[in-house]
Amino acid sequence: MAMLPPDLRKRLRRIAAGEELPPQPAGAVQANVDPEPTMGEADAFLDATPVLFPRSEAGDVGQALGGSEVLGSEDDPFWLIELDLREHWPESAARLDRLGALLRGPADSVPDDLALAFGPDPHSLLFLDIETGGLMGNPVFLIGGLDLPASGPRLRFWLARDMDEEIPLLERFGEEWTRFRCLVTYNGKSFDVPFILDRMRLWRLMVPDPAPAHLDLLHTARRMLRYDLPNFRLKTLERHLLGRRREGDLPSDQVPEAFYEFAECRDPAIVAPILQHNAVDLVTLAELLARFLERL
């Protein structure tokens, strides 16, 4: 059998990963989408992304990034950071406060996937995004979460400062996992959650059971916007639906190399862009849920 040309094989892999749409069926209508939203658009947030984690010259992780050391069951440490979104990004916090109020209401006319996010206690909903040292078989060194407590939207980051801290990080996160009734991710059914569980099993840690419900907004985006976007990358949805473009964001493919460099020297200026990248992904994820509900 003849081999497919390399460029065609690459395109088929992008289609399988949801990064590119296959050809549209006859009669499909292509929506006009402006790749650069303007200030006059009513359907855009258009607020600048704040720098939540500036590159600091401080050599100490705590001084530069905030947070504190947390111990696992064997007294092995990792680092935990919490940010109050009302203090650091008030425009987004106001939107997510409204989202929390909406999620406490009825979900009678909401599609089944989005209805998973509804419930009397939005605090038990966790927006989840992880950063790893590469593909399966590499460590999870950062688990980012955003939840909606009554005190206001909160970002939390479970950070391993080196490879040895992955075990207590996963152990403590697994304990937290059990109190969430629903996880919200972007491609998390294929990547984030299987990756976390694979690493827990590798280290023979207690795997949370029962698992919370899981709303993967990648599948929601494909259902609701199938012919409206050039691809389904998270940044593409952020730009087209939220009207926001990031400046100076660390590319995802550079994250593993940056982590391994940080693990060697623990320079917080190296890990700050990773935390910034993860934080904006989480806020985008929550705002996308709000936007999808607005479009119903």
Q: Please report, for the chain, the start and end positions of each structural domain, with discontinuous segments joined by +.
A: 51-294
Residue 38 pLDDT: 32
Residue 120 pLDDT: 87
Provide the strand spans (E) within 119-269. Answer: 125-132, 140-147, 154-159, 182-185, 213-216
Residue 23 pLDDT: 47
pLDDT tens, 194-221? Answer: 999 999 999 999 998 888 999 999 999 9
Could you give the CA distance from residue 280 to residue 242 in angstroms, rounded to a whole number?
12
8-state DSSP, 28: P
pTM assigned to the model: 0.84
Question: Please, is 176 exposed, middle or buried when counting C-beta atoms within 10 Å of its C-beta (0-12, 13-18, 19+)?
Answer: middle
Residue 165 pLDDT: 97
Q: Give the rounded percent of residues in the chain with a pLDDT score beyond 70.
A: 85
Is residue 109 within 8 Å of residue 296, measured between CB atoms?
yes
Which residues of the chain register pLDDT less than 50? 1-4, 8-10, 12-13, 15-42
Residue 78, H or E segment: strand 77-84
Q: What is the mean pLDDT of the chain?
A: 86
CATH topology for 51-294 is Nucleotidyltransferase; domain 5 (3.30.420)
Residue 8 pLDDT: 46
**Ramachandran region of residue 203, left (φ > 0), alpha (ψ -120 to 50) or beta?**
alpha
